[in-house]
Amino acid sequence: MSLQDTPQGERIHIAFFGRRNAGKSSFFNAIAGQKLSLTSETLGTTTDPVRKSMEILPLGPVLLIDTPGFDDEGELGSMRVERTKEVLRETDIALLFLPAKDFLSAKDVLPARKEAQGEGFFLSDIEGQEEVLFLPEKEASYLRLFQENKIPSFLLLSQSDKLSSEERRQIEDWISRKKDTPFQGGFLVSSETKEGVEAVKNAFAPLASLQEEKKRLFHGLVEPGDFVVLVTPIDESAPKGRLILPQQMAIRDILDYNGIPLVCQVEELPRILENLGEKIKLVVTDSQAFSKVNQTLPKTMPLTSFSILMARYKGFLSYALEGCATLSTLEDGDRVYIAEGCSHHRQCGDIGTVKLPRMLEKYTGKKLQFVYSEGKGFLPEEEQERVKIMIHCGACMLSEKEVESRYQDFLRKKIPICNYGLAMAKMTGILERSIEML
């Protein structure tokens, strides 16, 4: 990955939801401008989420996610529906697809069903109007999920090319009058005629603040002309030929602040200190080098880690700090869940599965049980109750929405959370120093 690329975790995630053959994949391809998702009249063609990074102005860098139909059936179908629900964890904007003719059918039975709220339909009274928003049960259940998770959503009435003139007039009339529904907007769309493609893209404009409000990695820490030293060990666990994402993000963000990033390994740090001394504003290190870097630096020089900066950036620093206090209370046999946000080949010196567990057992003096996951995989709900603490990586590959969803799973169960950098700072006795400037 080059420095100018936007990582998936920094993109606004736009997910496509709907029944099988509701037109999600075809419209996904139309928005993306490529045939990425398979399309067919056969039900259940999309079996796994399909992702596409692109730019939609003025929203900026986005990640489009096409999902399997949420009405899939059978054992495999149930697994696909679970995959679809998992996407909700990372969704910033939801597009709910409903074939336009199905919408008209639901609307037509409104008088007979008006007294039967909750029995298969969702009714939302519009203030000052008698009419209501009327959705079939599956679509209604997902609208509720969007609302519960505070996800802005759009209703896309698909396959508009199959409508008669009168049917089109009815829907357009409804769309023009429904300004206060739970949706941000409603659109007639068709992948065949490309109707609605540009209108839907333009409707994202008011949500551009989702991108603009993103925090900066070095917010409040760096000013123009500041020297910031980034200690990046190149050992057996370092990726060959490149820097890891938090290191790349750090370099770019310092440059954006007109600061001066200096990158070195642990062995070169004394020479940088000799040349710059007190001119150095801040030192950021890989967490596994905390101990050596701490011993090398003057006690008055600010020191933190890439992982701790990521915890602040992703919005869970305060929760993770609280979780640090529980590390010393672990007992023999306690289960520690170590979650990695990216998928990579585990090597002999892997930080998550080797170095961190070794440090924890040495620090606690206890024989612990460890549970691991990586990438989009996450510990199932029924397994979470058995965990004493979750320790997460810096989560550079995950969106803030997905990170929040993950840690809230555990906080709701009153299970503490922590992250790699904070745990290692705690175990090396330098936690207070590593968060002092934050």
Residue 2, in any domain of the structure: no
Same domain, 184 and 51: yes
Same domain, 22 and 144: yes
Last residue of a domain, one of 309, 328, 352: 309
Residue 221, in any domain of the structure: no
Residue 88, in any domain of the structure: yes
Asked whether residue 376 carries a pLDDT value surpassing 50, the answer given is yes
Asked whether residue 356 carries a pLDDT value surpassing 90, the answer given is yes
Burial of residue 341 (number of CB atoms within 10 Å: 0-12, 13-18, 19+): buried
| Confidence label for 140 from pLDDT (cuts 50, 70 and 90) | confident
The structure's pTM equals: 0.71
pLDDT of res. 314: 87
Residue type, 97: F
Q: Which domain holds residue 424?
A: 316-435
| Mean pLDDT, residues 17-42 taken together | 78
Return the percentage of the chain with pLDDT > 90, whole number: 45
Q: What is the CATH number of the domain that holds 324?
A: 3.40.50.11410
Last residue of a domain, one of 163, 182, 212: 212
Q: Where does 131-289 show beta strands of DSSP type E?
A: 132-136, 153-158, 185-188, 227-231, 260-264, 280-285
Q: Are 344 and 353 in contact (CB under 8 A)?
A: no
Same domain, 14 and 117: yes
Q: What is the CATH number of the domain that holds 158?
A: 3.40.50.300
**Which residues touch 109 (CB under 8 Å, ≥6 apart)?**
none
Residue 222, in any domain of the structure: no
Please write the tens of the pLDDT for every residue from 187-202: 999 988 999 999 998 8
Asked whether residue 397 carries a pLDDT value surpassing 90, the answer given is no
Residue 1, in any domain of the structure: no
Asked whether residue 117 carries a pLDDT value surpassing 70, the answer given is no
Q: What is the CATH number of the domain that holds 232?
A: 3.40.50.11420
